[in-house]
Structure 1
Amino acid sequence: MDDDYLNREKLAKEILEKDKNTIPEFWKGKYKREAQKNWNLFYKRNTTNFFKDRHWTDREFVELIENKENGEKTILLEIGCGVGNFVWPLLDKNPNLFIHACDFSEKAVELVKENEKYDTDRCSAFVCDLTKDDLVENIEPNSVDLVSAIFVFSALPPEKMQLAVSNILKILKPGGKILFRDYGIYDAAQLRFKPGQKLQESLYVRQDGTLAYYFTIEEISNLFVNYGGFKQLESRYVIKQTTNVKRDLNVERVFLQAKFELPLNHQ
């Protein structure tokens, strides 16, 4: 690590250590219970105008555009699909891809189905709570080649993340892969939270009531490797310098990108 990185990490630690207080237990429980409601309100308010289409995903995860040698379709599950910003660019790029797209916001799924590109021969969208049995009620067990988890686990309370992994395991084929990208510790967004927005270590609530968790590599490895039984293929921090034009401020976004494979002998 270079000196600049170490200095930034030291400064970030100092900022986070100052915020020692967490919100009262009543509000912690309320925000966690109402996560689905708050995401639904988010999409009702913003519709398709908030997130941009994710044209970068196939550059980071080549599996999304690779085709099987036997010509069969690749089956992908996109968890936390939102309004389809991940789905539509991929369907355009890979005609041999079928996507199951799920989100626990009814409004988000409604907007996916209303999109002119929505074609049930290429895509199936449904409402799903990853921490319940909703996946196996909509997808055949052991039928999915790839699962994309792009900025979705950070929206879950930490104590429910293992439930989500357990449910993903039910529908993923042996040899299937998890493609993961989410918020990393010391991300600029984490450092901007004000006192009174911290629920617990690394977990915060935004002004709209949605949750945001900031991961370390060790936490993700523990979740998928030690608990889920996956083989880790890749795990790294991705650091992006961005500019806030209105405030004339350069900030450092930190994401965690990883790839995991389910062993062929997994039972």
Structure 2
Amino acid sequence: MALSTHDKGRVSIEHGEEGKSCEKMTLCVPGQTKTSNAKELTQEDLDKLGSERALVSDFKQMKLEKDAQKNWDLFYKRNTTNFFKDRHWTTREFEELKAFREFESQRLVLLEAGCGVGNCIFPLLEEDLTIFVYACDFSPRAVEFVKQNPLYCPERCCAFQCDLTKDDLIENVPKESVDVVTLIFVLSAVHPNKMTQVLENISRVLKPGGIVLFRDYGLHDHAMLRFKSGSKLGENFYVRQDGTRSYFFSREFLAQLFEEAGFQSVTNDYVLRETVNKKEGLCVPRVFLQSKFTKPAQTHS
């Protein structure tokens, strides 16, 4: 079924970051605000969240978990490589992608956990000729799109399908060989009960002293507040109309997750942005969580 321009805007707000908004949506103000405080809610927002007590049935929740890979594969079948914009902002937001080397010619080894169709990795491969990237995704179709990209080169990139909640990354990535892991708009798609397993899996391939760069949906983001009745799976956890799911993180919950997986917090802040629909005069507040966590250089048994 074809989407109208209005529907495309709605779907992109639900699925995307600041990346692929409707053509009419542009950044309201340059830059963004970082804060340690959660977004303040209006009384209307509080009333809406307070009224959402009914959860999706256990049967449907089990089916959504079972069909998670299929639903993401269908998402990429519908949207191919056209949904998200390339993320040229990663080196600006995460200086570790440039500064992590001890010397200029050192080859940085990166794992893009949940690479989608390569919107993050290909700008990095173009910008940094010495980087090597492991890239994995839940969706086999997304991985194929990565491999079909003209910039894909096996000497510089290794893409593979992986369910981070159960497939051991060590089958494709040498143990403790990765300098930096990017986890960008990925963990929110995982059931909260399985998020720690994802982080433990990542930790096995990350070098001691290595870092995880995280960005995902924050608590009370606009997409969270616009879910309709019948979409709630649990606290801060929702299902979209296409069957894909999204969790909205608080700083405290995210810090606890990483600490339980053996990481230490470096930074952990909300990012507040606004987009505006100039034609309709609507300002849309977005809330993301941007964080950095490190694997301790010394582990104690």
Asked whether the 8 Å contact 1:229–1:262 carries over to 2, the reply is yes
From 178, 182, 186, the counterpart of 2:220: 186
Does the 8 Å CA contact 1:13/1:186 hold for their aligned counterparts?
no
1:172 alignment partner, one of 206, 212, 217: 206
Per the alignment, residue 234 of structure 1 pairs with: 267
1:206 aligns with 2:240: yes
Aligned equivalents of 1:10, 1:173: Cα separation in 2:
46
Q: Residue type matched to 1:84 in 2?
A: G
Residues 1:122 and 2:164 are matched in the alignment? no
- Which AA in structure 1 matches 2:137? D
Q: Which amino acid aligns with 2:178?
A: V
Residues 63 and 128 (structure 1), Cα distance of their counterparts in 2 relative to 1, 3 Å cut: same
Q: CA RMSD in A?
A: 1.7
1:225-251: CA deviation from partner (whole Å, max 9, x where unpaired): 2x0121111000000011135643111
In the TM superposition, residue 65 of structure 1 has moved relative to its aligned partner by 2.2
Q: Deviations over 1:50-104 (max 9, x none)?
A: 0100011111101112362343211100011000000111111111211101001
Match of 2:65 among 5, 28, 32: 32
Q: Structure 1 counterpart of 2:253, which letter?
A: E
Aligned to 2:102, the other structure's residue is in SS state coil
Aligned pair 1:264/2:297, yes or no?
Answer: yes
The CA distance in 1 between the partners of 2:226 and 2:277, in whole Å, is 13
State the partner residue of 2:29: none
Distance 1:87 1:184 in 2: 23
Conserved 8 A contact 1:22-1:199:
yes
Task: Name whichever of 202-211 and 8-17 sits farther off.
Answer: 8-17
Q: Percent identity?
A: 51
Q: Indicate how the Cα distance of structure 1 residues 161 and 67 shifts in structure 2: closer, same or farther if over 3 A, else same.
A: closer
Distance 1:197 1:174, change over 3 A: same
Relative contact order: is structure 1 or structure 2 higher (C-alpha 8 Å, sep ≥ 6)? 2
Aligned to 1:135: 169
Distance 1:6 1:252, change over 3 A: closer
SS state of the match for residue 8, structure 1? Answer: coil
Structure 1 runs not aligned, ≥5 long: none
Is the aligned partner of 1:96 residue 2:130?
yes
Q: Distance in 1 between matches of 2:166 and 2:172?
A: 12
Structure 2 residues not aligned, in runs of 5+:
1-34
Correspondence 1:223 to 2:257: yes
Q: Give the aligned length.
A: 263
TM-score, normalized by length of structure 1?
0.94
Matches of 2:205 and 2:39, distance apart in 1: 41
Q: Report the Cα distance in structure 1 between the residues aligned to 2:39 and 2:267, rounded to whole angstroms.
A: 23
Normalised by the size of structure 2, how large is the TM-score?
0.84
Name the CA distance, whole Å, in 2 between partners of 1:254 and 1:111.
29
